Chains A and B, each alone.
Chain A
Amino acid sequence: MRWRSPDFWSGLALAALGGYIVVAARGWDYLTPDGPGPGFFPIWYGIVMLVLSLVLVFTSEKGQVADWRGAARAFAVWAAFAASLALMKALGFAISFAALTYFVVAVMYRRPPLVALATAAAIVGAFYLVFPLALGVTLP
């Protein structure tokens, strides 16, 4: 069925974005006394995006499926990455990034906890040595 096709869904999402761009751009001046206004360019690329994404929706093939093997691992790492960013303000770079590294080593690559702990400590330590100490670059 066409609705299972990834092109169908990505096309719909992009059509929504194109529609949003056109609606938002209609709220700004299209032409001003000095020439084209802030709405001029977005309206046109928004319309083109809307048209092309609808082409994608209607030409999406039945039976077409994305290869999602392994995607769970990638999404898990992304979720851990996003969580470590959310915690960064409260816990600081060292703890949140070390936790992310521990997760990648111990959970994603199934290495022993001690190896994961040592890897996390070594990487965070190296970042502190290289950036704030050697280069004067501030860490998050």
Chain B
Amino acid sequence: MDIAAGLMHGFAVALAPANLLWCFVGVLLGTVVGILPGLGPPATIAMLLPLTALMNPAGAIIMLAGIYYGAKYGGSTTSILLNVPGESASVVTCIDGYQLARKGRAGAALGIAAIASFIAGTFGVLALMLVAPPLARLALAFSSPEYFALMALGLAMVVLLAGRSLVKALLAMLVGLWLAGIGTDAFTSTSRFTFGRMELLSGIDFVVVAIGVFAIGEVLANMEAREEPRALPVPKGLRNLMPTMQDMRDCRFAFANGSIIGFLIGVLPGAGSTIASFISYGVEKAFSRRRLQFGTGVIEGVAAPEGANNSETGGALVPLLTLGIPGSGTTAILLAALVLWGFKPGPLFISENPSMFWGLVASMYIGNVMLLVLNLPLVPLFAQVLRAPVYVLYPVIIGLSLVGVYSVSGSLFDLGLLAGFGLLGYVMRKLDYPSAPLILGLVLGGAMERALRQSLMMSEGSLTILVARPISAAMLACAALLLLIPFFARLNAWRLRAMEEENK
């Protein structure tokens, strides 16, 4: 199916009334989740994942993706009005966005964030549509050694997700690998790490870990503060939310910069939208004529990172849908969702499931338009979400987590595991262990072990098969190079600055 025919087919899928409704529900939920500090897209998608088992898979992926990119629109609102990122990708927007709001230009900042998100988000979908099919065709030549090397490369990307300590990120990833190994070995039916519990023979459900670490862990971390932050007011009326023509002229380069950098960073597994927005902000500042004013409320300082974090979504879906490699916590949950519904993301995904892929692409075009409409005139309404009392919000999140886990297994044992993983997620935050590598290790662990064992069966036990094949050797070399990044001072300084901004 060529691109034009695929896109036509995709619009036929996405414009079906039910899918249109799920797209709207997704972007609406995403906007609300993005606005709420302390509830991110990974937690929301993980909580809703079990409920999607009742849905048509095309509608379900359209809704979950809507939450993913919708949250990035919503995140800017909190950054601008509260100086607190609604979700991690919007952290850089706080720098100039909040200063603009303090100067009485909150409307222009919110408006330019929505417009930049729309332009770059649409660019990201366009690039996804053009890049993913040829990449999937290339990946058809992959066999077990290449898959093992690809997963090793994906896991090596944890150096980019690592906080100040690479060792801690690697340890978190290894714990994820161990969790993935719990249960019955698929090759020999040996039970591993089950502690004699029947409930663990089929392994630990990904949903339990994801909801525990992200949702419960996040709630516990947010419970530390008794006081609720106060937001700046939003100007009323669409006219007060529209940037001026001068603002638009000032942001021309920022729109292009955010779109291109966001997509390119997104394609790299592990880099993530926070790094994309940080680099885009840095590039904008470096090339701006008024670079010294950055940080005091410059409109391009909002447009560039907001554009980048939205364009990154399209990029992040490329390795997920063509290679089956997630690059972040959220895409790892989307991968788990696809597997839960019976799909196998990888080189054959697009050709075997054209309705899913092209329907998703078309829905993202539609979703971006919906988000622009929702986020320009209705932003004062969404800002009211920030006034929702947290003492109502947190029990609701805990309740949704319980229902989400129970609906997967119907087991009270899994609810106990949920409590355990919630505590683990909280302690990891306190001790500065990043949680995304744990989730990546958990998602990729089973497939990685399978690919390694199949490779060694092919070679009758010789590890040279992994380096004798050129694609596999190249990917393993890249993985080794990535692990050396912390030893290159300048590259590591960039990475650390991005991670520190995220942790603020």
Contact = CB atoms under 8 A, between A and B. Distances in A.
Contact of A104 (B188, B221, B394, B461): B394
B229 interface: no
B431 A10 contact: yes
Nearest to A77: B223
B416 A85 contact: yes
Interface string B385-428: 00001111011101100110011001010011011001100100
Interface residues of B, number: 59
A107 to B, nearest CB: 10
A81 B175 contact: no
B391 A109 contact: yes
Contact of B175 (A14, A34, A123): A14
A27 B51 CA distance: 40
11 contacts: A10-B431, A10-B433, A17-B175, A34-B187, A35-B460, A35-B461, A41-B452, A42-B192, A48-B174, A97-B395, A109-B391
B431 A123 contact: no
Contact of A78 (B416, B419, B431): B419
Contact of A38 (B185, B221, B418): B185
Nearest to B221: A74
B167 A24 contact: no
A85 B392 contact: no
A97 to B, nearest CB: 6
Nearest to B404: A137
B245 interface: no
Contacts of B412: 85, 88-89, 140
Interface residues of A, number: 66
Contacts of A104: 223, 391, 394-395
A35 B457 contact: yes
Interface in B307-344: none
Contact of A100 (B226, B395, B426): B395
A127 B403 contact: yes
B167 A97 contact: no
A97 B399 contact: yes
Interface in B358-374: none
B193 A29 contact: no
Interface in A26-85: 28-29, 31-32, 34-38, 40-42, 45-46, 48-49, 52-53, 55-56, 59, 66-71, 73-74, 77-78, 81-82, 85
B177, B178, B223, B389: residue with the most chain A Cβ atoms closer than 10 Å: B223
Q: Give 8 nearest A-B pairs by CB, closest first.
A: A70-B224, A35-B457, A109-B391, A38-B185, A101-B395, A38-B190, A74-B220, A41-B449
A111 interface: yes
A33 to B, nearest CB: 10
Interface of B: 51, 54, 165, 167-168, 170-171, 174-175, 177-178, 181, 185, 187-188, 190, 192-193, 216, 219-221, 223-226, 389-392, 394-396, 398-399, 402-403, 406-407, 410, 412, 415-416, 418-419, 422-423, 426, 430-431, 433, 449, 452-454, 456-457, 460-461
Interface string A5-36: 01100100010011001001100110110111
Interface of A: 6-7, 10, 14, 17-18, 21, 24-25, 28-29, 31-32, 34-38, 40-42, 45-46, 48-49, 52-53, 55-56, 59, 66-71, 73-74, 77-78, 81-82, 85, 88-89, 93, 97, 100-101, 104-105, 108-111, 119-120, 123, 127, 131, 135-140
Contact of B390 (A28, A40, A59, A109): A109
Contact of A69 (B219, B224, B407, B418): B224
A140 to B, nearest CB: 4
A140 B391 contact: no
Contacts of A100: 395, 398
Nearest to B220: A74
B406 A139 contact: yes
B426 A74 contact: yes
Contact of A97 (B51, B190, B402): B402
Given A10-B433, A74-B426, A135-B54, 12 more contacts: A24-B193, A36-B461, A37-B187, A38-B188, A49-B178, A70-B225, A78-B423, A81-B216, A85-B418, A97-B395, A137-B54, A139-B406
A62 B252 CA distance: 50
Contacts of A108: 223, 226, 391
A81 B422 contact: yes
Nearest to B452: A41
Given A6-B431, A28-B190, A119 B391 contact: yes
B187 A38 contact: yes
B221 A42 contact: no
Given A56-B167, A68-B430, A131-B403, A38 B192 contact: yes
Given A71-B224, A73-B224, A28 B395 contact: no
Nearest to B176: A45
Contacts of A48: 170, 174
